[in-house]
Amino acid sequence: MRYDDRLYGSVDLDDPVLLDLMGSAAMLRLHGVYQHGITGLLGIVNPLTRAEHSIGAMLLVRRLGVPLAEQIAALLHDISHTAFSHVADHVFAGPESYHEAAKAEYVAGTDLPAILARHGYDWHDFLHEDAYPLLEQPSPALCADRVDYFLRDSLDLGLGTPEQVRGAVDRLVVHDGRMMCDDLDTARWMADAFLAAEDASRSNYREAALYELIARAIKLAIERGILAPADLWDTDRAVWDRLSAATDADLHALLGLVSVHTRFEQDAAVPDFWVTLKRRTLDPDVVQGGMARPLSALDPAYAVRRDAYLRAKAGRWPVRVIRA
């Protein structure tokens, strides 16, 4: 199979297990699940899909020479994301991301266990991506998951040119079993562009408010029997259409606010609700002379920028909804 990817170019894939997994019903569903959830469905951001990102993460670790098992783990790492991605975290409050907490339950009911078994793999081995060090690392380190979605966002948001993105990919290396940069300027560009991408999307006040609104709509629909929790393992459009087709007046009032025309103001006196913003940064390790040090240690100015960003996104934010 020849796969054309906008980050990594044209790649020939001939591993039967990867090809079967890419054609699985579980993976095909992710072509209808947007990385940015409701803002992707509304067209506020580019509708990057979980499938594109998952295949990209697999291609990135493959490029870095990992064994086939880690390529499989990368391909499947987001397989249990619900419709609207992280909105489920707001619907089902818990100690960890909902798609991680429910991963075993979801995967067990898909076609993945049988596909993996045909190729000699146990599906349980792929439930915890932190067992694969190039795929997953704690923030703010580099890893395939974080790097792939960020580089795609940087293109979609106009924060980097295709040449800059390809150049960044070319400067990724494996050192001491982890992903790092071998160039200080590349690490600096990646770290600053990551902050800009997060500010424009995942830690954006408007996005957080829209997520809260769609979460409230889904929670209400589940409480009133319009949706079952299992229905969320469909595509974004299918769940949205099911919500929209309901005749519940309260639900329709909430859905009417989930719109590009709705405005949000920070009004602590009369808030409709409060939100917290995601506070994620990148601090790449840079290999110089065979030794690795984090960018923040090599560039004190970046350390200041990173700390300022984290302070600016801290706390709870009041939201007053301004109806269009």
* pLDDT 10s digits, 293-323: 999 999 999 999 999 999 999 999 999 999 8
Q: Give the fold, CATH level 3, of 2-203+279-317.
A: Hypothetical protein af1432 (1.10.3210)
pLDDT in tens, 211-267: 999 999 999 999 999 999 999 999 999 999 999 999 999 999 999 999 999 999 999
Residue 175 clears pLDDT 90, i.e. is over it: yes
Question: In the chain, which residue ranges form alpha helices assigned H by DSSP?
Answer: 16-22, 25-29, 38-41, 50-63, 68-76, 87-91, 98-101, 103-108, 112-118, 144-156, 162-170, 184-200, 205-223, 236-245, 249-257, 295-298, 300-312
- Give the per-residue pLDDT at 95: 55
DSSP 8-state code for residue 34? B
For the chain, the structural domain boundaries read: 2-203+279-317
Question: What is the reported pLDDT for 216?
Answer: 96
Among the listed residues 218, 192, 190, 214, the one whose alpha carbon sits nearest the alpha carbon of residue 275:
214
The model's pLDDT over 66-106, given as tens digits with 9 standing for 90+, comes to: 999 999 999 999 999 999 988 888 898 765 688 888 999 99
Structure tokens at 114: 């049988």
Summarised one tens digit per residue, pLDDT across range 19-38 is 999 999 999 999 999 999 89
pTM of structure: 0.95
271 alpha-carbon distance from chain centroid: 29
CA distance 234 to 229: 10
Contact 57, 35 (CB under 8 A): no
Give the mean pLDDT of 43-64.
96
Structural contact between residues 260 and 43, judged by C-beta atoms closer than 8 angstroms = yes
Which residue, among 152, 171, 174, has the nearest Cα to 34 in the 3D structure?
Answer: 152
238 CB neighbour count, 10 Å cutoff: 14
Q: Give residue 94's pLDDT.
A: 63
- Closest by CA to 259, choosing from 176, 320, 322, is 322
Specify the pLDDT at position 19: 98
Residue 143 has pLDDT above 80, yes or no: yes
Region 279-283: mean pLDDT is 96
N residues, the chain: 324
Instruction: Tell me what percent of the residues of the chain surpass a pLDDT of 90.
Output: 92
Q: 295: how many CB neighbours lie within 10 A of its CB?
A: 23
Q: Is 46 in contact with 156 (CB distance < 8 Å)? A: yes
- What is d(CA 47, CA 33) in angstroms, rounded to the nearest whole number? 9
Q: How confident is the model at residue 151 (pLDDT cuts 50, 70, 90)?
A: very high
Average pLDDT for 3-9: 96
Whole-number average pLDDT of the chain? 95
Which are the contacts of 100, defined by CB distance < 8 A and separation ≥ 6? Answer: 80
